[in-house]
């Protein structure tokens, strides 16, 4: 199904988009576990290598099952081009490294997934790429951080774990005025709830490990942008350095995409009901849910997101001790650092994903020792509410 055939709605694209069929006309997407390809003649091989005749050359570059996943993601996102990667971090690292060289400068929001922050501050720093981290909700800080060498703006929204929401359109405008580009990590919103490219971003990255697989099976990632952006920044870097997605994982992710809307809608409905059931609870000092009127950036949520989130964050009274008592009191919800799964999961950022930061850095991000991040799964919402309320009684 070519994107140009008809403007299908996301649910339809997710079942049919990008499907290629072999001579056997299989119904479901075929899994091509092949590294390489055979040519009918030496001349055909030469033409394929020089790019004169299109086609697959080597699976580090591309493979029919990877292509199906990339095409389906591109149609869903409304992107001209996409490339799949082995993990979400491979997508972030490739998208950022592809855009910069020694001497360049990156502006990023402080509230980032721990590994993204490490890539920007520690890893890229080794190659002479400098960075400034800002409060993503404060547009003046983005503006003031610009230097003559600024090439890339980077943000994640909603953020992990405090679910802050940043104005993509406004930040993209500031980036473009400075001659820079904006890359958005759209994992928490999913491609269903937020379309950064339509809001002016130049590049979108995903960890497909989260909602896109959504059933705890494989790792994967994806980079989406214009054809020119991909060819200038991403194409050669993936081909030559090899952060490529396994065809088997691409196949699992394709099947994950088919059920993405059904899962994410149900998980969001449960998360919203849980947020309402827990808001104002006497054992909590704070609850954050994009989609509630009391969210600090409710106006931005209304402007750029189609719905809230599958995640709810809240602060349990009594700091780390209170949070641990609560976590250990849960029967149904799994203690983990993952999210976006059909099983409900909970994370204590201070001792896991954000352990690397100093207490002062965490305080600056609003990550108190009692903060937990809950990811709603596909269980019945009343079972989840009972689980959470029973565990809060133990605090």
> Within 157-196, which residues bind ligand PLP (CB under 6 A)?
160, 185, 187-188
- Residue 356: CB atoms within 10 A of its CB come to 12
| Biggest alpha carbon–alpha carbon distance for the chain | 75
Q: Which is nearer to ligand PLP, 209 or 392 (CB)?
A: 209
Q: Which is nearer to ligand PLP, 146 or 192 (CB)?
A: 192
Q: Tokens in use for 132?
A: 């400034």
> Within 124-163, which residues bind ligand PLP (CB under 6 A)?
156, 160
Contact window for ligand PLP (CB under 6 A) among 36-44, 168-176, 203-211, 254-262: 203-211
Q: Which is nearer to ligand PLP, 104 or 185 (CB)?
A: 185
Contact window for ligand PLP (CB under 6 A) among 75-83, 84-92, 136-144, 274-282: 84-92
Q: State the nearest-atom distance from the C-beta of 220 to ligand PLP, in Å.
A: 7
Considering the rule CB under 6 A, would residue 88 count as an interface residue with ligand PLP?
yes
**Pairing of the two strands 311-316 and 334-335:** unpaired
CB-based contacts of 38, cutoff 8 Å, min separation 6? none
User: Based on C-alpha coordinates, what's the Rg of the chain?
Assistant: 22
Q: Which is nearer to ligand PLP, 119 or 330 (CB)?
A: 119
Considering the rule CB under 6 A, would residue 87 count as an interface residue with ligand PLP?
yes
Is-contact 167 155, C-beta < 8 A?
no
Q: Which is nearer to ligand PLP, 88 or 290 (CB)?
A: 88
Considering the rule CB under 6 A, would residue 108 count as an interface residue with ligand PLP?
no
> Within 225-254, which residues bind ligand PLP (CB under 6 A)?
none
* DSSP class per residue in 272-327: HHHHHHHTT-TTEEEEE-BTBTTSTTHHHHHHH-SS--SEEEEEETTHHHHHHHHH
Q: Tokens in use for 379?
A: 């269980």
- Interface residue with ligand PLP, options 108, 116, 367, 376 (CB under 6 A): 116
Q: Which is nearer to ligand PLP, 19 or 336 (CB)?
A: 336
CB-based contacts of 181, cutoff 8 Å, min separation 6? 99, 151, 152, 153, 175, 202, 203, 229
Considering the rule CB under 6 A, would residue 267 count as an interface residue with ligand PLP?
no
Contact window for ligand PLP (CB under 6 A) among 95-103, 205-213, 267-275, 374-382: 205-213
Residue in the shown chain whose Cβ atom is closest to ligand PLP: 88
Q: State the nearest-atom distance from the C-beta of 337 to ligand PLP, in Å.
A: 9
- Residue 137: CB atoms within 10 A of its CB come to 18
Q: Could you give the C-alpha distances from 38 to 85, 158, 197, 247, in angstroms and in order? A: 24, 46, 38, 18
Considering the rule CB under 6 A, would residue 207 count as an interface residue with ligand PLP?
yes
Q: Which is nearer to ligand PLP, 243 or 322 (CB)?
A: 243
Q: Could you give the C-alpha distances from 123 to 96, 145, 188, 272, 393, in angstroms and in order? A: 11, 20, 24, 37, 44
Contact window for ligand PLP (CB under 6 A) among 44-52, 81-89, 103-111, 141-149: 81-89
Q: State the nearest-atom distance from the C-beta of 257 to ligand PLP, in Å.
A: 16
Q: State the nearest-atom distance from the C-beta of 208 to ligand PLP, in Å.
A: 7
How many degrees, rounded to 5, is the angle at CA 55 between CA 49 and CA 61? 70
Considering the rule CB under 6 A, would residue 221 count as an interface residue with ligand PLP?
yes
Which DSSP letter does residue 66 get?
H
CB-based contacts of 104, cutoff 8 Å, min separation 6? 129, 130, 149, 150, 151, 152
Q: Which is nearer to ligand PLP, 183 or 233 (CB)?
A: 183
Q: State the nearest-atom distance from the C-beta of 189 to ligand PLP, in Å.
A: 10
Q: Give the burial class of 364: count Cβ atoms within 10 A of its Cβ; 0-12 exposed, 13-18 middle, 19 or more buried.
A: middle
- Interface residue with ligand PLP, options 72, 117, 151, 210 (CB under 6 A): 210
Report d(CA 259, CA 114) in Å as an integer.
29
Q: State the nearest-atom distance from the C-beta of 219 to ligand PLP, in Å.
A: 5
Q: Note the residues at the interface with ligand PLP (CB under 6 A).
A: 87-89, 92, 113, 116, 156, 160, 185, 187-188, 207, 209-210, 219, 221
């Amino acid at each position: 199904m070519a994107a140009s055939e008809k403007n299908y709605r996301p649910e339809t694209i997710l079942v049919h988009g990008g499907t290629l069929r072999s001579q056997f006309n299989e119904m479901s997407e075929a899994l091509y576990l092949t590294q390489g390809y055979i040519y009918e003649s030496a001349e055909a091989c030469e033409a394929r290598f020089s790019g004169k005749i299109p086609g697959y050359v080597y699976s580090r570059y591309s493979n029919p099952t990877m292509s199906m996943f990339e095409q389906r993601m591109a149609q869903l996102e409304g992107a001209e081009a996409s490339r799949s990667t082995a993990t979400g971090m491979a997508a972030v690292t490739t998208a950022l490294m592809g855009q910069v060289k020694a001497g360049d400068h990156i502006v990023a929001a402080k509230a980032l997934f721990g590994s993204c922050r490490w890539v920007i501050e520690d890893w890229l720093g080794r190659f002479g790429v400098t960075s400034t981290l800002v409060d993503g909700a404060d547009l003046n800080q983005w503006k003031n951080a610009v230097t003559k060498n600024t090439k890339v703006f980077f943000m994640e929204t909603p953020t992990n774990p405090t679910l802050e929401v940043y104005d993509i359109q406004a930040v993209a405008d500031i980036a473009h005025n400075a001659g820079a580009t904006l890359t958005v990590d759209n994992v928490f919103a999913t491609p269903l709830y937020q379309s950064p490219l339509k809001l002016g971003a130049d590049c979108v990255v995903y960890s497909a490990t989260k909602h896109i697989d959504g059933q705890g099976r494989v790792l994967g990632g994806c980079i989406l942008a214009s054809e020119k952006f991909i060819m200038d920044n991403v194409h050669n870097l993936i081909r030559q350095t090899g952060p490529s997605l396994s065809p088997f994982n691409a196949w699992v992710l394709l099947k994950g995409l088919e059920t993405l809307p059904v899962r994410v809608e149900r998980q969001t409905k449960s998360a919203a009901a849980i947020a309402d059931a827990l808001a104002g609870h006497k054992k909590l000092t704070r609850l954050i849910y994009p989609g509630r009127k009391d969210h600090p950036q409710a106006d931005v949520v209304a402007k750029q997101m189609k719905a809230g989130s599958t995640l709810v964050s809240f602060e349990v009274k009594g700091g780390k001790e209170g949070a641990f008592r609560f976590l250990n009191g849960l029967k149904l919800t799994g203690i983990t650092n993952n999210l976006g799964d059909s099983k409900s999961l909970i994370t204590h950022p201070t001792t896991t994903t954000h352990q690397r930061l100093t207490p002062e850095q965490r305080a600056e991000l609003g990550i108190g020792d009692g903060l937990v991040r809950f990811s709603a799964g596909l269980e019945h919402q009343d079972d989840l509410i009972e689980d959470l309320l029973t565990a809060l009684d133990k605090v």
